Amino acid sequence: MYESTGLFDRSRLGYLRVATIAPAVRVADVAYNVEQIEAALREAAGQGVQLAVFPELCITAYSCADLFYQGQLLAAASDALPRLAQSASIAGMACVVGVPLMVAGRLYNCAALLADGHVAGIVPKRYLPTTGEFYEQRWFTAADRSLPPTVAIGGVQAPFGTDLLFATRDMPDCVLGIEICEDLWAVEPPSGRLALAGATLLINPSASNELLGKAEYRRDLVRQQSARCLAAYVYAGAGPGESSTDVVYSGHGLIAENGTMLAETERFHFATQMAVADLDLQRMNHERVRNSSFSQAAGDTALRTVYFGLFGADEGAAAPVNRPLARTPFVPADPARRAHHCREIFSIQSTGLAKRLRHIGAQRVTIGVSGGLDSTLALLVIAHAFDTLGLDRAGIVAVTMPGFGTTARTRGNAERLAEDLGATLRVIPIGESVRLHFRDIGHDEGVHDVTYENAQARERTQILMDLANQVGGLVVGTGDLSEAALGWMTFNGDHMSMYHVNAGVPKTLVRYLVAWCADELFTGDTAAVLRDIVDTPITPELLPLGAGEQLEQKTEETIGPYELHDFFLFQVVRYQFAPAKVFYLAQQAFAGVYDDAVILKWLGGFYRRFFAQQFKRSSMPDGPKVGSVALSPRGDWRMPSDAVSALWQEEVGRLEDAGGRGGVMRDS
């Protein structure tokens, strides 16, 4: 594995391992509570946690009520902070704990960040609930007035206030902002201000009790605030060891990142509960850079920044990332969710085409059908668009153009599907016209080079364009998002159309969309044809067949597996990750499927093709965006056609050198 180069330093890749912890507590038993927190710190350290978050007022328990007036309890809680800071340092981590503190004659409900063996800073709670079962204003003062800038803890002055950001010296992407429980439920949570000022990780020690339906609401609240702030959010709720005089607490801990829930604790356990996840704070900064509303919002320059050290042993490349990681990021693993995605995407595609047809008043289209996945999906989309507009499907001119590499299987499937859908089928062999073209330009038909292949693709596009003029329609393109990323298309051949319905659909998803159509929209012979198309190898069918109609050309043998390329595409375009990080994630996603050398070979090939083929994307036809990754030159992706890939290729080369094997794929 690639462990010794520094390329996989977890902090360099932007990962921070955090834990939300609901420790076992006893009401007003500070000594017991401190012991439980320390035990939880040791357990978390064993899991590689670098930052742990504990609940609101966990040192005393939240539900002490009028015992908060007892000076003995407050003194014990304050005295516990230096001890816990040392315990966290010994465990090699930082932590946030909830504590009541007397400051200048007022009692505050506080969260303390413990790091570097001391109290790095203390944040008091701003919004105190005093409705229903809550009456915090009876004991605490809200942090909505002038506060002293520091407070003495163990003879040392610690920064104090709601104007604190905590930045790590080790990870430039890691900046903490702290709010407490009710702060999140307010109309304008402090976390919004903190995020605009640079906080990428928002922390909330809480003591939210359980009521019917409240867990779902809380979960949505945390998830949505992480999305709104383009941040990670760690929420630690008080556990059932709190007093149950009138309410019950469950120990609900949540870890979210930009709208996605990464982990949560099991509720209603008296023993300490913990949930651990790796946050990608580098990703959060990338999201902010590309988000115009975030960049236009004013940050609060009045905040103070406190710097602290972040410990935790780096486990290198061998350590799997502790967060959901999909091998097929464009294709949900859950069948129900995948079916929902397919239905939505199919509707977006067909509605986009219907709008274009309606706008120009066209009642006919031409499409080249090969019996492959892309043209099949496009044909199905066209049929649905025609149905939406009430047009006769006979206006769909489906053209199969057998050439030198066409198999009986693909041609037969294309013809049967067109007939089943009620389209007008045209069979126009291209062999004779391509041979004439070879003679015109002086090309030897026996030389199966790029000229040999592209002449067929361009001949097919010419036929479709001329037929569209003949019938008064438009040409619907069939190429997909993955092909656009890799430039796996013939310029001014299949690259061109008058509307590109598959432009936003990656190859790994095309297969599932066709399968979904077979399962949900069709039955009988049509469904059987679609399922056979799903099982057909991906090929452009541009090289002559071997003995027994054996395919001599399979796309993935030439350019690499589409599941790898779609994984690369998602990480590179959606999150702007560097090659080292893309490789690190691919290692884990494809463990046991592809070894490191194979991944690096095709990763190098992806970058080479992606940069070299931008000129094709710059002149792509209109087509609908369907997901978060799109390459339209008019929409999401604006890139110079002559940009140089050297910087990215050099990093791939360093990864190969570190592994001692593999090689960057050369152009073929």
Which sequence positions are flagged as catalytic? 56, 125, 181
Q: Which of 501, 492, 452, 485 is nearest to 350 (CA)?
A: 501
DSSP 490-515: -TTTTT--SEETTTT--HHHHHHHHH
Please state, in angstroms and rounded to a whole number, the distance separating the CA atoms of residues 179 and 234: 11
Three-state SS at 10: coil
Please state, in angstroms and rounded to a whole number, the distance separating the CA atoms of residues 55 and 181: 9
Tokens encoding 501: 């319905």
DSSP 231-261: SEEEEEE--TTS--SS--B---EEEEETTEE
Q: Which of 374, 369, 434, 379 is nearest to 399 (CA)?
A: 369
Three-state SS at 155: coil
DSSP 61-80: -GGGGGGGG-HHHHHHHHHH
Please state, in angstroms and rounded to a whole number, the distance separating the CA atoms of residues 248 and 267: 11
Q: Which helix (H) or strand (E) holds 103?
A: strand 94-103
Q: Which of 11, 53, 41, 95 is nearest to 254 (CA)?
A: 53
CA contacts within 13 A on the Cβ side of 142: 12
155: phi then psi, degrees, rounded to nearest 5: 80, 5
Buried-state track 613-640, b at ≥16 Cβ within 10 A, e below 16: bbebbeebbebbbbbebbbbeeeebeee
241 C-beta neighbours (distance < 10 Å), count: 25
Name residue 110's beta-bridge partners: 99, 124
Give the E-state strand segments of 540-630 in sequence order: none
Pairing status of strand 118-124 against strand 150-153: unpaired
* Whole-number CA gyration radius for the chain: 30
Region of 132 (left: φ > 0; alpha: ψ -120 to 50; beta: rest) is: left
Three-state SS at 204: strand
Give the end-to-end CA distance of the chain in Å, rounded to a whole number.
Answer: 29
Cβ–Cβ < 8 Å for 400, 415:
yes
Q: How far is it between the farthest Cα atoms of the chain?
A: 100
Please state, in angstroms and rounded to a whole number, the distance separating the CA atoms of residues 261 and 384: 35
- Helix, strand, coil share (%) of the chain residues, nearest 5: 40, 15, 40
